[in-house]
With several copies, the nearest count.
Chain A
Amino acid sequence: MAVMVVQGNFDPWQEIQAYQNAADCLPGTVGATSVFVGTMRDFNAGNAVKGMTLEYYPGMTERQLEKIVAEARRQWRLLDSLVMHRVGDILPNDPIVLVAVWAAHRGDAFDASRYIMEALKSRAPFWKKERLDSGDECWVAENTKGYKSD
């Protein structure tokens, strides 16, 4: 049940492999793994973006991520989970966030991974400042919603 705030680029697929290999309790019990990876796009709201800086609130960010994971564990039957989030300077195509959830059954894995992502987007203290092609810098005002019905 790891939660990590990381400086510097990371490969989400390697991280999952490494985490899985180190998790002794998982083999044989896992039927479903649901993973979400958020990556930086080079376009946002019509502007070409060269890069961004991700600010966070050390201490509170980790605490909120852990709370979100705990909420997910209370609602669904999970075997393990891994949440990683990048901070600092980021380039297009870099992974920003990884949410991986291991469960016996797929309903729990799908529901929990999406819940964690939506909660993270609305409550984990991270802030994006984009560097545009024009040279301007601007703070992203608000995250878009993850459900059409929102």
Chain B
Amino acid sequence: MRHLSFNYPYFRNGVHVMSNKASIKVRYFASLKENLGRSEDHLVYTGLMTVREIWCSANPGQPLPCNILAAVNMDYVDLDSLIEAGDEVAFFPPVTGG
């Protein structure tokens, strides 16, 4: 995982800004939420990361369940896609609606 320092921290009018935009909200649903024992994490954005790396940061040592689905900002994404500051990342098991 590379931390690209030019992405963070950023400055506005000479003041170091730690806005919402600079954090990553990670959400879990259904059986995954129950297994982890929590529904969300808040990570500090430290540069370009893949969705898979977000999982590792939030759940160190826990392998990514093999049938997991992921969404960024409420759209489905590949686990290797990149996320940006302010993104909402979600992990959940196969859907069973309808």
Contact = CB atoms under 8 A, between A and B. Distances in A.
Interface of A: 38, 54-57, 59-60, 63-64, 85, 96-97, 106, 117, 120-129, 139-143
| Residue among B75, B90, B97, B98 with most chain A CB within 10 A | B97
A117 B98 CA distance: 7
Interface in B13-27: 27
B95 A60 contact: no
B10 interface: no
B8 interface: no
Interface string B72-98: 001110000000000000101111111
Interface residues of B, number: 17
B94 A57 contact: no
B71 interface: yes
A127 B29 contact: yes
Interface of B: 27, 29-31, 34, 71, 74-76, 90, 92-98
Contact of A122 (B34, B75, B90, B95): B95
Contact of B30 (A55, A85, A106): A55
A125 B98 contact: no
Contacts of B75: 60, 63
Given A63-B74, A127-B30, A57 B92 contact: yes
Contacts of A126: 95-98
